[in-house]
Amino acid sequence: LLTTLLSPFSLPSGQVWSWGDGDYGKLGRGGSDGCKTPKLVEKLQDLDIVKVCCGSQFSVAQTKDGQVYTWGKGDNQRLGHGTDEHVRYPKLLDSLQGKKVVDIAVGSTHCLALTDEGEVHSWGSNDKLQHFDTLFSNKKQPKALPGLNSKHIVGISCGPGQSFAWSSCSEWSVGQRVPFVVDVCPVTFEQLDLLLRQVSEGMDGSSDWPPPQEKECMVVASLNLLRLQLHAAISNQMDPEELGLGLGSGLLNNLKQTVVTLASNAGVLNTVQSAAQAVLQSGWSVLLPTAEERARALSSLLPNTGQFDLSADTMI
């Protein structure tokens, strides 16, 4: 149940209004009484609130100057105040004092906060390893997530029991092997080639149109996996020959033909076409090793989309 709303229109800037069931003080006005119509959360007056998120029976608010307030049900330390106690008025998170928070995200019982220095702090339930802690211990107060310090994190999000963080696309990097995600070796590219050819059959509109959504998702997921392997190979300066992707190889030609077709054919779904174009943008130096191939690929793309961008410097 969403009980908190940031007013974006004619009401004064930064006010927060809440309504609905009032258990655990989640409406932020003290007590447990509910209300059927929106009422002002007075404790947040004059704090210039810029974002409000709701979890399971609790809420989190972020101010313009980077402070964070939480209130509502306290079980599993989801409020970040160090206890399981319920809080019936918005309460400042002392553990984030001295940090400027630029974004917040909320799951069912855990939270993330992103600072202006790219740190990601988390607190609350860890029953689904939301905090990368394999001991499944809840986090009583905000603490920086390990392993993200130098990743240039620019965004965060939460699922009910998941945490997500991403970096700027111009700065992201990945190793040659990440369990279940990346394994830069010939077998991986061979399997992706077989998978792509199988799931993309008929995606150009020649048959089975429109394709089932399951098939669309499989093609996009396969292309995203290919893009990730290529990015890892290029970032780690791996020799394409050692990956079976040397100039003129059958594997390279198969992958190139599939990706360019999906990226350029006018009959391809937009989601699939965008994913294929992203593969070319990330992996052009491997998939299109010669200037002639890059020119041909670009000429086939230009009539069908105005969004694909390979700079002149990239093409040389």
Query: CA-to-CA distance for 312 and 297, rounded, in angstroms?
Result: 14
Q: Return the structure tokens found at 8.
A: 């974006």
What is the block-wise mean pLDDT of the chain (316 residues), using blocks of 10 residues? 36 82 95 93 93 95 96 96 96 96 95 95 94 85 87 88 81 69 91 92 71 85 93 92 93 93 86 91 90 77 51 39
Indicate the pTM of the whole model. 0.56
Among 2.130.10.30, 1.10.3720.10, 2.60.40.10, 3.30.1490.20, name the CATH number for the domain at 4-167. 2.130.10.30
Give the pLDDT of residue 5.
41
Return the pLDDT at 116. Answer: 94
Rounded to 5 degrees, φ, ψ at 50 are -115, -15
Structure confidence at residue 123 (pLDDT): 97
Half-sphere exposure for 314 (CA within 13 Å, toward CB)? 17
DSSP 303: T
pLDDT at 92: 98
Residue 254 tokens read as 């198969």
